[in-house]
């Protein structure tokens, strides 16, 4: 089994074999008048709408047996942009040849063995563009498990529905209808509970039966889900299972018996749960999706092992067109929240606590906002009329780079109280909730449909390759993504993350949480007052500063003085204690935490003691937090995972070396920015201190298109602009600094990074991971492109070597480098001055 590391996988994506599956035509959104999208959707690789060079990859073509009547085919085939699919249309499917987005050392829950069951299979093929990390071993064709639901997609003809499709097709249709109605997934997905075999995918549904009756072989729905899961089809999986080395298979003959069986009698066994106006989409991955719990594997396998039920999806509410690019960035890629005119913002942050529910429990509802409402996300700068899809998944909140959380999954909430439409899909074994972002709603979405499911630690930890530990790893973040197709064929991917959310029952009420700190670093002499903002601070809360050696043992620990009088539940003022060694020659990275008692500690926050004579690295004032500052203490978000915004005082050796953003820096928000997002994502996801040093102009205020010159360590898609811009060819120039001047990076969240999560280990703050990936010193060594880089990788300037080193060591390296640069800079200034 190869290294499933995302990097690798992604990297190999371009050279991965492509399976062309001839299947029934898929109208997908074509009916909705989006040729562009459609084409993109159907031309994952070799075929680019814009004629961009297709990836040169070996292909395996599968001629699928058409399930659709010719007439239907014609209807759907009207889409020129789509590869003509007659009875035997061809769809190219990229076969990811890499494993899960996490390598063995960074497996996600899904990467476990169990995840390789039907679920993962299904998920892997949910869509060619959704799953890149499917390694051969994960290949559906290696597994008998096939998602019944999925099967429909491939074999079925999507929406060849009536002319113009159903009214629901209209993107403008209120998603809410679907929202409330649709429930297919949730019901099954919920809690990853064993799905009943009897659950058939969209058989019922409003569409399935009557309205959509025209579709004899229903199967897919071009509905939203269908689109997003185009390749999720079990059918495809089945086809692949039957795949021969010949490459071309007549689906009629080649389709696994199971598949054909499915087509023949899918209805009987399908007791599709029909919901009002519901969309029974999602079913396809669902049945097999959830294999998190290994204990369920058996059941699922049994189920999956059966013939494929082909759900007859009813037509569903119109959904925004899903992102159609075949090369979406992996979930553990760090993406910017803003690029060019676009800015993805979390307008209303979720509450810091949300008790996740177990599979054995009922839902505990949707994540709520502090105000009592729900989180709100909005995309600014998007002026097109095309709806977009907002993706949401549960990410980590530890001190490492953001990545899908192994122990938590987003859970779709439905019900009368839910006003936002959504559906679940799997990407890289991580469940994503897709929510429409509609122009009519000002590209704003109220996230009232997202709950959080807790997977049992044992189920995840026992999985082969899983290295994360679940114990005390109970904090998560909501991660939102949106992919915007550009006229030039590229795609801009934005991502924003919420504040951390504590998901455990107990700690939610007892553990202190530090969200912000007013001081990042200070001379070893200490004495300065630092304001901490967060939750659950008590009058008797203690603030402990600790320094640990690389091996983890304590080198120093001291209790800081807390101003008892000023302690509030949400804020606390503490005096920075003097460091043990006043003769520092280089910055020392320490941590501190708030303690409400034994075992009731906040996660560690980072703090840096500076040598007496070294200028303090100025912490860029956070406009967002200034208002929070009290007593003249400017606050800045400093979650253990956040990235300190260092004023880029480091010289930029070669700004040009950095990819230049396609867009100028994010313009100031042209829309009023809700003040309710004190720690809106941008701040939280600035994970690239080095990016600054390498790409940022020397002036923090300079709005020069800068792009994260960080290429995904092993990104195969260098030329897709490191994940943010999925260009079909040219190396993209990337993005711009965020509103605050910092730059997001597209660094791999290091699937191979520390294998074990350190929820409570301060370890490397946000910067750590970054440094780990691109430390200044390493950047210099970039001269020699890492072997991980694709051959067709971008220009030398982009070839940034990614060398992984011990976290602490890197932290220090980074600090040392910064320090040195500062010194040099100062001496230089000094010289000039005197001169």
Binding site for DNA (CB under 7 A): 187, 355, 357-366, 368, 413, 415, 417, 451, 454, 456-458, 470-474, 504-507, 509, 598-600
CB nearer to DNA: pick between 99 and 275: 275
Rounded (10°) angle between helices 148-155 and 234-242: 80
CB nearer to DNA: pick between 307 and 408: 408
Minimum distance of DNA from residue 202's CB (angstroms)? 18
| 599 torsion bin: left (phi>0), alpha (psi -120 to 50), beta (else) | left
d(CA 417, CA 141): 41
CB nearer to DNA: pick between 457 and 570: 457
CB nearer to DNA: pick between 25 and 273: 273
Minimum distance of DNA from residue 640's CB (angstroms)? 16
CB nearer to DNA: pick between 505 and 797: 505
| CB within 8 Å of 110: residues ≥ 6 apart | 100, 119, 120, 123, 291, 292, 426, 428, 429, 430
Minimum distance of DNA from residue 229's CB (angstroms)? 23
Minimum distance of DNA from residue 405's CB (angstroms)? 13
DSSP conformational letter for 701: T
CB nearer to DNA: pick between 260 and 354: 354
CB nearer to DNA: pick between 370 and 616: 370
d(CA 619, CA 635): 10
CB nearer to DNA: pick between 103 and 359: 359
d(CA 612, CA 819): 12
Minimum distance of DNA from residue 279's CB (angstroms)? 16
The alpha carbon dihedral of 410, 388, 497, 643 has a sign of positive
| CB within 8 Å of 598: residues ≥ 6 apart | none
d(CA 67, CA 261): 12
CB nearer to DNA: pick between 554 and 583: 554
Minimum distance of DNA from residue 418's CB (angstroms)? 7
Minimum distance of DNA from residue 605's CB (angstroms)? 18
Q: Is the CB of residue 141 less than 8 Å from the CB of residue 237?
A: yes
The H or E element containing residue 249 is strand 249-250
Give the CB-side neighbour count of residue 9, counting CA atoms within 13 A.
Answer: 39
Minimum distance of DNA from residue 188's CB (angstroms)? 11
Q: Is the CB of residue 604 less than 8 Å from the CB of residue 360?
A: no
CB nearer to DNA: pick between 117 and 363: 363
Minimum distance of DNA from residue 365's CB (angstroms)? 2
Q: Which of 7, 11, 89 is nearest to 47 (CA)?
A: 89
CB nearer to DNA: pick between 358 and 630: 358
The H or E element containing residue 407 is none
DSSP conformational letter for 513: E
Minimum distance of DNA from residue 602's CB (angstroms)? 12
Instruction: Quickly count: other Cβ atoms within 10 Å of residue 656's Cβ.
Output: 11
The H or E element containing residue 36 is helix 35-42
Minimum distance of DNA from residue 537's CB (angstroms)? 18
Q: Which of 793, 819, 111, 781 is nearest to 428 (CA)?
A: 111
Minimum distance of DNA from residue 80's CB (angstroms)? 43
Q: Is the CB of residue 592 less than 8 Å from the CB of residue 560?
A: yes
Q: Is the CB of residue 577 less than 8 Å from the CB of residue 559?
A: yes
Q: Which of 822, 678, 832, 689 is nearest to 347 (CA)?
A: 678
The H or E element containing residue 747 is none
DSSP conformational letter for 104: G
The SS3 assignment for 704 reads coil
Minimum distance of DNA from residue 536's CB (angstroms)? 13
DSSP per residue, 709-736? -PPPTT-S-GGGTTTTB--SSSPPP---
Residue with tokens 């089994």: 1
d(CA 448, CA 678): 20
CB nearer to DNA: pick between 369 and 659: 369
Minimum distance of DNA from residue 416's CB (angstroms)? 9
Q: Where are the beta strands (DSSP E) in 649-713?
A: none
CB nearer to DNA: pick between 310 and 449: 449
Rounded (10°) angle between helices 118-126 and 294-305: 70
CB nearer to DNA: pick between 43 and 406: 406
CB nearer to DNA: pick between 64 and 283: 283
Minimum distance of DNA from residue 186's CB (angstroms)? 8
């Amino acid at each position: 089994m190869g290294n499933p590391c995302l990097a690798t996988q992604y990297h190999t994506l371009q050279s991965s074999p492509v399976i062309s599956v001839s299947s029934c035509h898929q109208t997908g959104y074509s009916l909705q008048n989006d040729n562009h999208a459609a084409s993109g959707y159907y031309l994952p690789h070799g075929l680019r709408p814009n004629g961009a060079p297709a990836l040169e990859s070996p292909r395996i073509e599968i001629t699928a047996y058409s399930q659709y009547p010719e007439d239907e085919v014609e209807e759907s085939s009207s889409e020129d942009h789509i590869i003509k699919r007659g009875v035997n249309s061809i769809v190219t499917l990229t076969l990811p040849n890499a494993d899960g987005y996490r390598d063995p050392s960074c497996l996600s829950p899904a990467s476990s063995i169990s995840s390789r069951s039907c679920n993962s299979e299904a998920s892997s093929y949910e869509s060619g563009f959704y799953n890149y990390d499917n390694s051969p071993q994960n290949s559906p064709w290696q597994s008998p498990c096939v998602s019944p639901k999925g099967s429909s997609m491939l074999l079925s003809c999507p929406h060849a529905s009536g002319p113009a499709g159903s009214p629901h097709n209209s993107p403008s249709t209120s998603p809410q209808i679907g929202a409330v109605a649709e429930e297919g997934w949730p019901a099954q997905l919920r809690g990853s509970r064993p799905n009943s075999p009897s659950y058939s995918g969209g058989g019922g549904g409003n569409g399935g039966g009557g309205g959509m009756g025209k579709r004899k072989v229903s199967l897919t729905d071009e509905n939203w889900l269908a689109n997003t899961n185009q390749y999720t089809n079990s059918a495809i999986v089945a086809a692949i299972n039957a795949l021969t080395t010949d490459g071309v298979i007549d689906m009629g003959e080649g389709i696994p018996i199971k598949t054909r069986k499915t087509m023949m009698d899918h209805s009987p066994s399908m007791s599709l749960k029909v919901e009002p106006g519901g969309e029974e989409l999602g079913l396809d991955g669902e049945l097999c999706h959830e294999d998190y719990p290994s204990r369920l594997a058996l059941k699922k396998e049994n189920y999956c092992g059966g013939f494929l039920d082909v759900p007859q999806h009813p037509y569903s509410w119109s959904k925004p067109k899903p992102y159609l690019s075949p090369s979406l960035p992996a979930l553990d890629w760090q993406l910017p929240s803003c690029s060019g005119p676009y800015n993805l913002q979390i307008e209303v942050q979720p509450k810091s606590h949300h008790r996740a529910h177990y599979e054995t429990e009922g839902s505990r509802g949707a994540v709520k906002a502090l105000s009592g409402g729900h989180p709100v996300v909005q995309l600014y700068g998007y002026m097109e009329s095309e709806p977009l899809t907002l993706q949401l998944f549960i990410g980590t909140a530890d001190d490492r780079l953001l990545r899908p959380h192994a122990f938590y999954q987003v859970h779709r909430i439905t019900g009368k109280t839910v006003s936002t439409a959504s559906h679940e899909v799997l990407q890289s074994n991580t469940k994503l909730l897709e929510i429409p972002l509609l122009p009519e709603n000002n590209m704003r979405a109220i996230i009232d449909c997202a709950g959080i499911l807790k997977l049992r630690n044992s189920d995840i930890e026992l999985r082969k390759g899983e290295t994360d530990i679940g114990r005390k790893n109970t904090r998560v973040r909501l991660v939102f993504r949106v992919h915007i197709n550009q006229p030039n064929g590229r795609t801009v991917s934005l991502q924003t993350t919420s504040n951390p959310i504590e998901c455990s029952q107990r700690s939610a009420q007892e553990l202190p949480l530090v969200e912000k700190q007013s001081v990042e670093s200070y001379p070893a002499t200490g004495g300065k007052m630092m304001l901490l903002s967060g939750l659950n601070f008590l009058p008797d809360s203690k603030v402990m500063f600790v320094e640990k050696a690389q091996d983890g043992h304590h080198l120093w620990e001291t209790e800081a003085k807390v101003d008892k009088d000023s302690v509030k539940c949400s804020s606390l003022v503490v005096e920075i204690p003097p460091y043990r060694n006043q003769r520092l020659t280089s910055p020392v990275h320490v941590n501190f935490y708030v303690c409400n008692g034994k075992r009731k500690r906040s996660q560690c926050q980072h703090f840096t003691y500076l040598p007496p004579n070294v200028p303090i690295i100025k912490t860029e004032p956070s406009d967002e937090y200034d208002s929070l500052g009290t007593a003249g203490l400017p606050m800045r978000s400093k979650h253990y995972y956040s990235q300190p915004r260092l004023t880029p005082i480091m010289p930029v050796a070669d700004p040009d070396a950095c990819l230049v953003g396609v867009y100028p820096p994010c313009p100031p928000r042209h829309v009023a920015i809700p003040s309710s997002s004190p720690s809106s994502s941008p701040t939280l996801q600035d994970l690239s201190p080095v990016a600054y040093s390498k790409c940022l102009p020397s002036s923090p205020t300079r709005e020069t298109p800068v792009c994260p010159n960080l290429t995904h360590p092993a990104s195969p898609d260098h030329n897709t602009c490191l994940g943010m811009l999925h260009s079909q060819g040219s190396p993209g120039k990337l993005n711009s600094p965020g509103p605050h001047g910092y730059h997001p990076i597209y660094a791999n969240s290091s699937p191979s990074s520390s294998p074990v999560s350190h929820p409570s280990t301060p370890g490397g703050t946000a910067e750590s991971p970054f440094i780990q990936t691109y430390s200044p010193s390493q950047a210099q060594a970039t001269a020699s492109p890492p072997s991980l880089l694709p051959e067709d990788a971008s220009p030398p300037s982009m070839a940034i070597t990614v060398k992984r080193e011990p976290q602490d060591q890197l932290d220090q390296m980074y600090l040392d480098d910064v320090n040195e640069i500062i010194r040099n800079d100062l001496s230089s200034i000094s010289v000039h001055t005197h001169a």
